[in-house]
Structure 1
Amino acid sequence: MKICFVMYPWEKVEPGKDTTMRLIKECVNRGFEVSYLTTKDISINKGKVVGKCNKLISIETEDCVEFYHTMQFETAVKDLTSFDIIFMRSDPPVDPLLLNMLEMIEDEVFFVNKPSGLRKANNKIYAASFDDGKESIVPQTLITRDVELIKQFVEEYNFERFIVKPLDGMGGKGVVLFEKNSIGNLSSIADFYINHDGKPQPIICQNYIEGAEKGDVRAIVINGEPIGAIMRVPAAGDHRSNISAGGSAIKHDLTDHEINLCRQMGERLVKDGIYFTGIDLINGKMVELNVVSPGGIVPHNNVNGNTDIQKQIISMILEKYEEFKK
């Protein structure tokens, strides 16, 4: 079995808490040939999608940090169709030109997640498409470049609290919480987010879900099935529960409602070629969908007594790979 990880540069990996590193090590433990490359290492040459791949040569160790620091590589340019599975693990947002190249071979190689699926689902517009107007799956959501439309949206639904965030944000960065009585600051902040890049960009305005101050649930969903979760608790004085923003993780058992919601969304995700997802839930509603490089393995293992959920992830991905080959 030959597996390639398309990811961030090796030197930027934080081995003590990196999800990709756990997936890589699990593949190596199973005796697979594992390589990695970054997005800038992918090219088209003579009609073939090729990459400057770094094949991993590792020592035997149980410790993931030692595994990372002692790693050696053999580098060679390879046709990417020579791999059985390609894991897409680069940081969002995804380069659309990269997706164009990888879509050329997505019928020949099993991708986690599929490039055409990432094109659909790698931004918050896809998540907002689950809004049925009744808040049964996601909170009421507006995506727009129009500041006046945001004001009308907030006033129409009379939100007590709401959030504004950039469309391509990650890790809780740029999320601003508004109180009803502070709406006077909305125009300046929304205008900044929309126009700060010189070209108007859409932003998200979303109803604030009660209970968010207590944290959110990160569900790990593989092949449409939720297999584990953690509760992420905000740091003192912060409304963001993202661990990268200072939040912490505690044990969480998914409720029947949360399981059903993940499965309901999972049907569509799998249909679109999204096999590995992080679904963030607050008070029984989905508030974030992570499809490009979902994390959470390390905190999940830590709070659940080192259950090594990466073993289950790889096993379930291999099951889907066998379906792909048929």
Structure 2
Amino acid sequence: MHIGFMIAPWESLTPTKNSTILVIRECLKRGHKVSILYPENLTVRNNVAYGGLMRIEEMEKIPENIVQFHKKVTFKPVLTPLHSLDSLMIRKDPPIDPVIFNFLDSIKNECVIMNDVDGIRKANNKLFTSTFNDPSNSYLPITHVSKDKEFIRKAIKEMPGDKVILKPLVGSGGHGVIVLEKNAQSNISSILDFYISGTGNENYVIIQEYIEGAEQGDVRVLMLNGKFLGAYNRKPPEGDIRANIQIGGTAHKYKMTDSQMAVCRKIGPRLAADGLYFVGVDMIGDKILEVNVLNPGGISNINKLDKVKLHLNVVDFIEEKVNEKHEKRAELEFLLKRLNDLRSDDY
């Protein structure tokens, strides 16, 4: 199989923390051809989508040490039609240019794209959870999204509790997430000015119910094909509410509660139906804060904490989806050939 990965620059990845490198190494160990693709290297030639792929050259021995593996990998640039890939795993932090999806539309029926292009379109930002049906807020916190400052002020006032969470609609890694004290009205006005129009554009912001216990961190849940894969607790650094590992959060072993597992079972079929096969769900208690569909991390931390190898499950799934697609294609080709043979017999 030829498996591609759309990622940030290889040299920018931290091998001890990056989930994608583990998956790539496992693909190579199984004898698959592996290439990486940077979004800026997409092109179209005579109506065919191409990628300036960086193909990983064959290694005499694949290092078990992930740092050594990352250091020793060498690449060969090859301009390649994207439909020649058996699978493409999108592992790029948001926001992602929607034009990229237009390049991939031409191959989505020929190549296993993970996550699915149309699924990512639906879930490319933090609005995705609003499509879940939870009117009683049993597993979703009270959440408002707007760029109307008056509406936001009113929403903050009506939110239960003394605090609210404010964050940009588009972003990752905990950037821009703050806790607002509801009684600090003068600060709220200036903060809204910055968040909504501080960059020269009118930007949407999220106002979300503050969940008690948030100061103790959250739970990153990984799901594969709509089923629970693994989880760990992310605790924030001293003096911060954000538990994201990229900004200093720490990883801790965690056992999911029965009610948390019930929430995962509730949303799992919907994720799988939308082609959102590898997903990170952030939870506090039984409430879902976000669903991360572009580049969810956590495999390295869960592997270390739980003594497992979740990257093997991910590669198993990729292989299964590719084989399934190949079998369906072969079956269709057989049926078309049989139909043509019958037509020939009629003549």
Global fold match (TM > 0.5): yes
- Structure 1 partner of 2:199: 197
Give SS of 2:228's match. Answer: strand
Cα contact 2:157–2:182 (8 A) shared by 1:
no
- Structure 2 partner of 1:49: 49
**How do 1:1-326 and structure 2 match up within 5 A?**
1-57=1-57, 58=59, 59-130=61-132, 132-305=134-307, 307-325=308-326, 326=328
Cα contact 1:49–1:79 (8 A) shared by 2:
yes
Amino acid at match of 1:22: L
CA shift for structure 1 position 131:
6.2
**2: CA distance between counterparts of 1:313 and 1:260?**
22
Cα contact 1:3–1:34 (8 A) shared by 2:
yes
Give SS of 1:77's match. Answer: strand
Give SS of 2:127's match. Answer: helix
Give SS of 2:219's match. Answer: strand
**2: CA distance between counterparts of 1:84 and 1:275?**
16
Cα contact 1:222–1:317 (8 A) shared by 2:
no
CA shift for structure 1 position 182:
2.2
Give SS of 2:40's match. Answer: helix
**1: CA distance between counterparts of 2:90 and 2:224?**
14
The CA RMSD over aligned residues, in Å, is 1.4
**2: CA distance between counterparts of 1:284 and 1:301?**
23
Q: Which runs of 5+ in 2 are unaligned?
A: 329-347
Cα contact 1:224–1:266 (8 A) shared by 2:
yes
Residues 295, 239 of structure 1: alpha-carbon distance in 2 compared, 3 angstrom cutoff: same
**1: CA distance between counterparts of 2:284 and 2:323?**
35
**2: CA distance between counterparts of 1:217 and 1:209?**
13
**2: CA distance between counterparts of 1:77 and 1:2?**
14
Amino acid at match of 2:312: K
Give SS of 1:143's match. Answer: strand
Cα contact 2:145–2:205 (8 A) shared by 1:
yes
Give SS of 1:263's match. Answer: helix
Cα contact 1:133–1:140 (8 A) shared by 2:
no
Which has the greater radius of gyration?
A: 2
Q: After superposing the two structures, state which structure 1 stretch, 80-89 or 314-323, moved more.
A: 314-323
Cα contact 2:5–2:91 (8 A) shared by 1:
yes
- Structure 1 partner of 2:333: none
**2: CA distance between counterparts of 1:128 and 1:314?**
31
With the length of structure 2 as denominator, give the TM-score of the two structures. Answer: 0.90
Q: After superposing the two structures, state which structure 1 stretch, 199-208 or 125-134, moved more.
A: 125-134
Query: What CA deviation, in whole Å up to 9, does each residue of 1:218-274 have, x standing for no partner?
Result: 001000001100000111111111111111011112122212212221211111111
**2: CA distance between counterparts of 1:131 and 1:280?**
18
Amino acid at match of 1:312: N
Q: After superposing the two structures, state which structure 1 stretch, 129-138 or 210-219, moved more.
A: 129-138
**1: CA distance between counterparts of 2:143 and 2:319?**
36
Q: Which runs of 5+ in 1 are unaligned?
A: none
**1: CA distance between counterparts of 2:164 and 2:311?**
35
Give SS of 1:181's match. Answer: coil
**1: CA distance between counterparts of 2:56 and 2:159?**
54
State how many pairs are aligned: 325
**1: CA distance between counterparts of 2:72 and 2:24?**
14
Cα contact 1:131–1:137 (8 A) shared by 2:
no
Query: What CA deviation, in whole Å up to 9, does each residue of 1:64-105 have, x standing for no partner?
Result: 111110111121100111111100011211111111111121
